[in-house]
Amino acid sequence: QVQLVESGGGLVQAGGSLRLSCVASGSIVTINVMGWYRQAPGKQRELVAAIRSGGSTNYADSAKGRFTISRDNAKSTVYLQMNSLKPEDTAVYYCNVVHMWQNYWGQGTQVIVSP
């Protein structure tokens, strides 16, 4: 089993920045992919960014140029640096880890961007 603990959400004004962190713990053998998803009220959960064990990344179009995903394999931690935040970025952000090709989710952290 893998447990995920997220931190770093909060309230920020438009144009501001936040950094989300997610630490994976438990019986970790091989983390294949680490990523961040978000779900806004009334909308489906969507991928924001993901990073593979080799370091390759992919981003949602809405995140490109503003968000940066990174990971520290030694600490089993993934980060999401979010800059130039917009009100439409308001959502609950969920950490996702693919471990031994099984999906695990964090409890979510709220991000609110005020105009």
Instruction: Dump pLDDT digits (tens) for 12-27.
Output: 999 999 999 999 999 8
Which pLDDT score is estimated for 31? Answer: 86
Which pLDDT score is estimated for 101? Answer: 87
Regions in the chain scoring below 50 on pLDDT: none
Which pLDDT score is estimated for 94? Answer: 98
Inter-residue contact 106 to 5 (CB < 8 Å): yes
Q: Which residues share a beta bridge with 23?
A: 5, 77
Which pLDDT score is estimated for 69? Answer: 98
Q: How many CB atoms lie within 10 A of CB 83?
A: 13
